[in-house]
Structure 1
Amino acid sequence: MTGLFQASLLDLDDELGVGPLGSTVRRTHLDHGAWIDLRPGWLSGSDTLFERLAEVVPWRAERRRMYDKVVDVPRLLKFYDEDETLPDPVLDDARRALDAHYGEELGEPFRTAGLCFYRDGRDSVAWHGDTIGRGGTEDTMVAIVSVGSPRPLLLRPRGGGHSIRRDLGHGDLIVMGGSCQRTWEHAIPKTTRPTGPRVSIQFRPRGVR
């Protein structure tokens, strides 16, 4: 069952589109060469995009082996490879804007988009880093746009330690860069509080998952 979505009062009259980056992005340097950038409310009209994605994306429920059993993945998924058409033109605009802002620092464009649908507080993602492929050995970037109801994204040093919390939703952008995928972990925890649905869009370079 999907939780009740409550639109943002600040987002109701906005036309769907991406805002500027540049000086509006706030960078926080973490330990071990990792950093995060935050741009709140980057995507205007984000509630409209959330409703479109919830309806048109061919969401998949997956099962994965965990230790000695196979379990349901607690969220719905859809991965768009670099040769696939994204489900809304504004996501192409977002990727172009990210390339323009981060291209020189990253040294390559963002190529793929992974979408996750968190239907309510029971959906989550455990502590992990995007270390499949080059992210396990090289510095890289993962840019996440969140639409729908805010959920906390937690970050902590790999192996444990004090965590950092950022509440993301309604068009917020967070970019994890430097060594972040190798030396830090991130998670969306479960919650028993009434929580509406959220979609996250993760833009990654080629060979990073």
Structure 2
Amino acid sequence: MQQFDLPQAKLIYDSDFLNSEFANSVFEELYNETNWIQEPIKIFGKEMMQPRLTNLFGKKSYSYSNIVMKPNPLPEVLLQLEEKIEEAADSKFNVCLANLYRDGRDSMGWHSDDEKELGKNPIIASVSLGGERMFHLQHKTKKELKQKFVLAHGSLLIMAGETQHYWKHQLPKTKKQVSPRINLTFRQILD
């Protein structure tokens, strides 16, 4: 487990959070049995399809970038995973946003998970499954403060404290040949 020493952030990364057998089975089940959707999103006033597929599991709706996602019940495999993640993050979660990155053309641009319904200092617990991808962080005002690292299959990244106030993150496109990747971000949506 690695804790990053970044100002105004609390980041914990465990590259071996899940054993490969369990990580493989979670990936296969979600990849094959999830009703993945692709929704339009507005970027700089222009509507386009999101460059990834998504689904929401849990007990609450979730909104971001003018998209309102309605939750599906957590499948058994995610219930098992949620229990393990809640223990590692020392936090409770009520939704899991699942993203499927089909190849290197799928991505997530610079953003912070700072929606009002996540509260003041949200804890975001992110599990990576499948193909490894590069993850970037950058301070919002001190642009020279940057961090990047590879998100491994079966890894867990916890972003907590003031991270979402002061930092933004992205999963950039890549021209490298990469396998499909599923990212599961567990969050607590407030009432």
Mark yes or no: TM-score above 0.5.
yes
1:73 aligns with: 50
In structure 2, what is the equivalent of residue 98 of structure 1? 85
**SS of residue paired to 1:48:** helix
| Match 1:142 to one of 108, 120, 124 | 124
Native 8 Å contact 1:156 1:164 kept in 2: yes
Give, in whole Å, the separation in 2 of the partners of 1:165 and 1:68.
Answer: 29
- 1:194 is aligned to 2:171: no
- The number of residue pairs the alignment matches comes to 177
Partner AA of 2:17 in structure 1:
W
Q: CA deviation at 1:134?
A: 4.4
Shift of 1:197: 0.8
Residue type at the aligned position of 1:43 = L
Mapped to 2, the partners of 1:26 and 1:68 lie a distance apart of: 39
In the superposition, the TM-score normalised over structure 1's length comes to: 0.78
**1:118 corresponds to 2:105:** no
CA-CA distance at 1:62 after TM superposition: 0.8
Indicate the percent of aligned positions where both proteins have the same amino acid.
28
CA offset at residue 169 of structure 1? 2.9
Q: Which runs of 5+ in 2 are unaligned?
A: 61-71
Runs of 4+, deviation exceeding 3 Å:
none
2:25 is aligned to 48
1:85 aligns with 2:73: yes
Partner residue in 1 for 2:4: 28
SS in 1 for 2:35: coil
When the two structures are superposed, what TM-score results if normalisation uses the length of structure 2?
A: 0.85
After alignment, is 77-86 or 186-195 more displaced? 77-86
Letter in 2 for 1:40: S
Tell me which residue corresponds to 2:165: 182
Report the aligned-residue RMSD.
1.9
2:135 and 2:148 in contact (8 A); partners too: yes
Q: Distance in 2 between matches of 1:75 and 1:197?
A: 11
Measured in 1, the distance between the counterparts of 2:178 and 2:87 equals: 34
Would you say the 8 A contact 2:34–2:55 is kept in 1?
yes
2:82 corresponds to which letter in structure 1? R
SS of the residue 2:145 aligns to: coil
CA distance in 1, matches of 2:12, 2:87: 15
For residue 184 of structure 1, report the CA deviation from its aligned partner: 0.4
